[in-house]
Amino acid sequence: MSGPLSVPLVIAAYFVSNALLRLGLAATAIVCFGFSSYWIWRTERQRVVHLSEKLRPKLLCSFSKDNSGCVKITENRAEVNSDGGIIPVFVRTTWYRLEIIADGNSMIPECIARLMSITMDGKVILGGEIVRLPFAPAASQDAHAKNILPGHPEYLDFLIIGDDGIPQISTNYFWMPSTVNAKSILTNHGDYFIRIVISSTESTAIEVNVLFHWNGTSANSKIELIN
């Protein structure tokens, strides 16, 4: 912009005989050159800052049994039966949810959560499947593509334990791929490591690792983040 302009000004200053005019042209050339250099640096700097901000993880995850949003109790729930229909299940159920918040002042759009794997004793008991986890409420249209606003936490369903003593991964209506038995995958006593990835077009994906210690009762089970 001003860089090319500085070249003819320098040339003109060389041929002009008036010392004062020559000094003015030279000074103008220096100013134009300096402004041009600054403008190039500023443009590149803005590009780097924008890229760094886009690549920065902008989602924060937490879990606590003392957080009322992370633990909910209902008297019943709905499930998908073998024919694909929705049926009520009248079992008192404790729902466990991750609290997800936006780290910054901008909305994080269309957040998607995927269950990537479950391992126990070093053995993969679920992996290589596409399993979406819903944001609460699971029946809402945006449950699988949630906009997260600054200062407004959203809650991601990931686990339930019913009074029947059966823990399950909390997918939408508890649907799971045909290769997975949803009601038996977490029934053995021990430590399960549940890996979840949450992504958005405006944030680098975050990985959440949950330790679920199951010994047969909801009261004595343990759930904690191990990131």
pLDDT digits (tens, 9 = 90+) for 126-180: 988 889 999 999 889 999 999 999 999 999 999 999 888 889 999 887 788 878 8
Number of H helices, E strands in the chain: 2, 13
**Cβ 182 vs Cβ 176: under 8 Å:** yes
Record the pTM: 0.74
Whether 3 has a pLDDT exceeding 50, the answer reads: no
77: CB partners within 8 A, 6+ apart: 88, 89, 91, 93, 160, 162, 174
pLDDT tens for 61-88 read 999 999 999 999 988 777 766 666 676 7
- Predicted confidence band of residue 29 (pLDDT cuts 50, 70, 90): low
CA 45 to chain centre: 26
Q: Residue 97: what pLDDT? A: 96
Instruction: Outline where DSSP puts E strands in 19-166.
Output: 59-62, 71-74, 77-80, 86-89, 93-102, 108-120, 123-133, 146-148, 154-162
**Does 174 or 5 have the greater pLDDT score?**
174
Count Cα atoms within 13 angstroms, Cβ side, for 162.
18
Share of the chain above pLDDT 90, in %: 44
Q: State the chain's mean pLDDT as an integer.
A: 82
- Predicted confidence band of residue 195 (pLDDT cuts 50, 70, 90): very high
- 123: helix, coil or strand? strand
**Cβ 108 vs Cβ 147: under 8 Å:** yes
**Does 175 or 225 have the greater pLDDT score?**
225
Whether 10 has a pLDDT exceeding 50, the answer reads: no
Lowest mean pLDDT among 42-46, 60-64, 118-122, 203-207: 42-46
- Predicted confidence band of residue 24 (pLDDT cuts 50, 70, 90): low
Mean pLDDT in residue range 42-68? 76
Place of tokens 């995927």: 114
Q: Residue 27: what pLDDT? A: 66
Instruction: Name the phi and psi angles at 10, rounded to 5.
Output: -65, -40
